[in-house]
Structure 1
């Protein structure tokens, strides 16, 4: 069934792509080359399993293509083989002449996910460790929860430069949280989530983080969904005060830098891509599920080789290198990739510092470019991590 739905999706996307491959002609006071069509969709990752439902992806121009970056939107309404509902809308919109940049990340999840404790040294197998004279479970524990997320950032271009400055609002509401183990436990233990939240004064069944951010962005990529050249950078300082609804005051810092090196000017699909990403708790405390975690970046692409949320902590440092290449001499339909990544996390509870331990990953992937003009691409990757961790990842557009 999954293969059939994927084939339907590819067929319909390809049909739309062929209809849109003509050169874009700019018409003032109109949104140029915009079309959006809900399509049957299938995706996969280790945390959610197979996902089936409706997806819509669109790219368009809000102004003259010569002076305006391409805007893009991805919407998903999915049900998974792990009985989860995944509803999300993620957008990156550039107004005419790139004067404004609007970045949106909206989600509603009824979902579940394993957690393993905090830090890069958290084990895979279920066990307990005594922390502060309390036996605390470490290793794979299950969590059910709902998540309502509303992130929206508005940035203004600085003169005619590649830089933007702006403000954002960020809301996360976790509810109906339940921790459990899938194996019988014969002794009283605290689950990692519950112990952490009780230690730092948070509820264990529901909590809210609400804050505003000051943001700086450098947007220098040619096409954001699948860049061939140049670079991108973002810095975001967020404060989460209790008067905006947060359970506790806190502040965080996010750093994101990506660089794309063209290796062959005559065949720009030969690319070496590099990604450096860091997310840090600066002050106060965050509830467990709002701590920095692998695979919880905006598009959920970090940490191929591990399940989403496999590592979590107050501080996170991540890097990835990827070589992308065509598989055909003169066409761009099929491509491939090889990648390596590394992640490190800290943990206040056991004193683990950032970079005390690094967890690497690596893998290979196949690319199918279904719209050459907009570079819309189906991506299929298989990643390997340490200690037997691995996973298959089926998505749309490049990982970063």
Structure 2
């Protein structure tokens, strides 16, 4: 926003060279949620900062707060953090949220229904915290604690027979606590986590939920996120970004709401072109590529073109027989030149579905 005001009112001036070295940068953006007819409001607040004045030795850190509300009673208050200490010795990844979140269910497995089977109402408290230590270069190992608490669960059926939610849960709508430790391997060579134009990102988490950690049920999960960024130009923004994502649960029966689902990765950014929760099962595979380019020479306006391909397995088989593609495009407006933050406006479409996303960071 600061950059936009300077562009308008200080046309003959340029940003000071040392402004890009500011230690802290703030970005704020309220916008309507135009995903569906229900509508709503989303507010994005992003803070980036450095723990050290030497930005070559210490990478950018980020705290992201994105409260949302809808006219159908959805309220979400998530805070997500990605923080490096001096010289990148330690990395802290946090995901904390409180949600009152009625959502539609569409069944389990690759053959889920086009229309909702039911609307599930619940409240959720999440506390995820990872701490990793630098091992060598950009590679690090860490340990985390992950907790999801679901309360006041109920279901309004939209079909005549039993829903997949009811069958999977065996009619049990009681509260559920999932908690356990997680081991993490992380490689991150990106210099800017809001708008990467180079480097690699790889994260692998192995989660163990156990009654010894307070969990109501025992189960395990694997979460793998791999990304690559390639820049075609040193003077303009022309980047090809690719992502492969895999998430699976096994060795136990997690709650329905803990099953992998499109749109429910940690940052909620998989599945452009699909309604969140549209596909759900015990494993999810997601592939995406995006081309990012400038429209104006000064980088104030940009555009993206993307495609993704996703599948959830047949329930309890881990076989991917049904694949669904989506394509889309988006506009970028330079919102804060200090941290290279863009206002993101993305439209995606798939068979029988669509999404419109407004945010202050790239999709991945």
Which residue number in structure 2 is paired with residue 344 of structure 1?
A: 311
How do residues 269-308 of structure 1 correspond to structure 2 at under 5 angstroms? 269-308=237-276
Compute the displacement of 1:378 (Å): 1.0
1:110 is matched with which residue: 94, 100, 108? 100
Q: Are the structure 2 counterparts of residues 276 and 16 from structure 1 closer, same or farther at C-alpha, using a change threshold of 3 Å?
A: farther
Q: Are the structure 2 counterparts of residues 246 and 13 from structure 1 closer, same or farther at C-alpha, using a change threshold of 3 Å?
A: farther
Q: Are the structure 2 counterparts of residues 271 and 36 from structure 1 closer, same or farther at C-alpha, using a change threshold of 3 Å?
A: closer
Q: Are the structure 2 counterparts of residues 44 and 22 from structure 1 closer, same or farther at C-alpha, using a change threshold of 3 Å?
A: farther
What CA distance in whole angstroms lies between the structure 2 residues aligned with 1:49 and 1:272?
A: 34
1:214 is matched with which residue: 165, 183, 190? 183
> Are 1:156 and 2:137 counterparts?
no
Which residue number in structure 1 is paired with residue 210 of structure 2?
A: 241
Q: Are the structure 2 counterparts of residues 298 and 13 from structure 1 closer, same or farther at C-alpha, using a change threshold of 3 Å?
A: farther
Which residue number in structure 1 is paired with residue 46 of structure 2?
A: 57
Contact 1:46–1:306 (Cα < 8 Å) also in 2: no
Q: For each residue in 1:240-289, what CA deviation from the matched residue of structure 2 results, as whole angstroms up to 9, or x when unmatched?
A: 0012121211111111100001112222x101100000001131111100
> Are 1:368 and 2:340 counterparts?
no
Which residue number in structure 2 is paired with residue 143 of structure 1?
A: 120
Compute the displacement of 1:59 (Å): 0.5
What CA distance in whole angstroms lies between the structure 1 residues aligned with 2:57 and 2:40?
A: 38
> Are 1:74 and 2:64 counterparts?
yes
How do residues 1-400 of structure 1 correspond to structure 2 at under 5 angstroms? 10=1, 14=4, 23=18, 33-34=23-24, 36=26, 39=28, 41-44=30-33, 46=35, 50-52=39-41, 54-63=43-52, 64-125=54-115, 139-159=116-136, 161-182=137-158, 187=160, 189-198=161-170, 203-267=172-236, 269-328=237-296, 330-348=297-315, 353-386=318-351, 388-400=352-364
Compute the displacement of 1:40 (Å): 6.1
Alpha-carbon RMSD across the aligned residues, in angstroms, is 2.4
Q: Are the structure 2 counterparts of residues 347 and 242 from structure 1 closer, same or farther at C-alpha, using a change threshold of 3 Å?
A: farther
What CA distance in whole angstroms lies between the structure 2 residues aligned with 1:16 and 1:209?
A: 48
**TM-score (norm. length: structure 1):** 0.83
Which residue number in structure 2 is paired with residue 128 of structure 1?
A: none
Compute the displacement of 1:145 (Å): 1.1
Q: Are the structure 2 counterparts of residues 252 and 45 from structure 1 closer, same or farther at C-alpha, using a change threshold of 3 Å?
A: farther
3-state SS of the aligned residue for 1:243? helix
Contact 1:110–1:147 (Cα < 8 Å) also in 2: yes
Q: For each residue in 1:275-314, what CA deviation from the matched residue of structure 2 results, as whole angstroms up to 9, or x when unmatched?
A: 0000011311111000000001122111011111100010
Compute the displacement of 1:76 (Å): 2.5
Q: Are the structure 2 counterparts of residues 14 and 150 from structure 1 closer, same or farther at C-alpha, using a change threshold of 3 Å?
A: farther
What CA distance in whole angstroms lies between the structure 2 residues aligned with 1:65 and 1:220?
A: 14
Q: For each residue in 1:145-168, what CA deviation from the matched residue of structure 2 results, as whole angstroms up to 9, or x when unmatched?
A: 111111010000014x11011100
What CA distance in whole angstroms lies between the structure 2 residues aligned with 1:389 and 1:72?
A: 32
3-state SS of the aligned residue for 2:102? strand
Compute the displacement of 1:54 (Å): 4.8
What CA distance in whole angstroms lies between the structure 2 residues aligned with 1:98 and 1:284?
A: 37
Contact 2:25–2:339 (Cα < 8 Å) also in 1: no
Q: Are the structure 2 counterparts of residues 47 and 169 from structure 1 closer, same or farther at C-alpha, using a change threshold of 3 Å?
A: farther
Structure 2, unaligned stretches of length 5 or more? none
3-state SS of the aligned residue for 1:227? coil
Aligned residues: 358
Q: For each residue in 1:116-155, what CA deviation from the matched residue of structure 2 results, as whole angstroms up to 9, or x when unmatched?
A: 1111211213xxxxxxxxxxxxx44211111111101000
Which residue number in structure 2 is paired with residue 5 of structure 1?
A: none
